[in-house]
Amino acid sequence: RIKYVSFFFFPFESEQALLKAREAFHRNVTKDVKFRIQQLKQLYKCLNENTDQFVTALKADLRKPLLETIITEINFVKKDIEYQLDHINSYVKPKYIRKKGIASFFDAAYIKYDPYGVVLIFGAWNYPVQVALCPLVGAIVAGNCAILKPSEIASNTEKLLADLIPKYLDKDCYHVITGGPEEATRILNEKFDMVFFTGSPQIGKIVYQTASKHLIPVVLELGGKSPVYIDDNVSNLETVVRRILWAKTMNAGQICIAPDYLLCSNDVKDKFVSLATKILKEFFENGVKDSDSYCKIINEKNFDRLNKLISSSSGKVVIGGDSDRDSLTISPTIIADVDSSDPIMREEIFGPILPIFTVDGVDEAIEFIRRGEKPLTMYIFSNKKKIVDKFQNETSSGSICINDCLLQMSVEDLPFGGVGNSGIGKYHGHHSFECFSHPKSVLSRNLNPILEYLSNSRYPPFNGSKLLRMKMVTSRTVVDKIDFHEAFKYLLTFILGSLATVLIYSLLS
């Protein structure tokens, strides 16, 4: 145990937190399932008792509407906690391997899930509650200690988390570190047992490279340009447009899985623009500047970046394009007739701008998608299974949602994560437990002399008869394909059924 006694050396807050968490983990505090359950309940209580404070903080950071705050932040995390509480006892049980083969027929073989140890979690500013606390829930349910670094860009939520977490969770096991890039860099260079990062691919690569010095597992939840494809023959185009615009205007488009650009034919493009004009008027009758249903852009830096994407585009702004610096709002904007070299097609937009790239059919759309990095998600609007299957089979993405947007996030047991440039690793539902756990392989056999006699052909000196026996034992046979646990259940059912038949027959006689 390290103790600081020098008056001339004061460790940084992050180093102190890491030492306390490491010490707590080595005391096996978090290994106790009852402790994990208690901490999850405390986090749930934190959200319940401080909902108004979270609403206020998110309003200050992002002008986030109450409905979005409750549904996508507070309730999203609470639902995750409820799910984990329902399943934690089954998670921690050893997962026995039933089909083991002749060589290990009498052995117990199972997987035991171990916590990694002390994990570092980086949150993000666009969903500063959900993206900070859902990974923390995963870390807790798996039995880890954790240090949480919320995004300093959503400063009000960052301060609130730093204030509330120590009041509700164990102060040795769980810590919140605040600060900017300098503090994030300092803590990242410390030796953790795992790092979980949510953010841009650019920063994700730095995190990955830094963590590689310690050879630790890293989960990167990144982003990318998530395409939307609309089939020419899709039914009810108005519903399609409404769903896409709902997803694009939520959080003012500042979502890693927001529809990034639209692929469609010229005919669909014209109809889409006409319907979008009508629907956006329904959504925001008096504009977005003072709307209670529309977020602001997080800061001036991103506000300027998005306005530059609009002004530098070679396409035609057909809807929106206006903005207000005082309120940091940008109207939902649709840009038609962009080309592949357009600046807006070279980076993730992360804002309320939807460029339209016209294509001549499914094959051209798929080819366009494949020329870029693998996206975090993909949205396909079509009534034809053949077209949907073609996208699923011929493209690669973290997820696909068919005939709607964003809703893949709402299914607890669907893994959330990217592929390639859009991320490494998955979480949500039981995937969160697995994400923060090491699956340890265990084989247990006894020292029975009969078993030892049966397996003594492995010992020198070797000869032909031993080789023959070992070849038989180590070759895959019909025994390897039998699940004896299942077979026993069927046998037991057969025996009990036969006895019941005999008993009933005897009584009737």
CA distance 390 to 175: 46
Task: Please confirm, yes or no, whether 264 is among the known catalytic residues.
Answer: no
Distance separating alpha carbons of residues 217 and 208, to the nearest angstrom: 9
Cis amide prior to 135 (ω within 30 degrees): no
Structure tokens given for 146: 């954790």
- DSSP strands (E only) in 337-494: 353-358, 378-381, 400-402, 423-424, 437-444
Q: What is the DSSP string of 311-379?
A: HT-SSEEEE---EETTTTEE--EEEES--TTSGGGSS---SSEEEEEE-SSHHHHHHHHHHSPPPS-EE
134, 145, 173, 256: the active-site residue:
256
- Tell me which DSSP letter residue 32 carries: -
380-to-65, 384, 387, 418 alpha-carbon distances in Å: 28, 10, 9, 17
- Of 73, 158, 221, 348, the active-site residue reads 221
* Closest by CA position to 469, among listed 51, 102, 80, 198: 102
**DSSP 3-state of 147:** strand
> Is residue 458 within 8 Å of residue 103, measured between CB atoms?
no
Other beta carbons within 10 angstroms of residue 418's beta carbon come to 28
CA distance 382 to 205: 35
256 part of the active site: yes
Ramachandran category for residue 406: left, alpha or beta (phi over 0 → left; psi -120 to 50 → alpha): left
**Catalytic residue numbers?**
221, 256
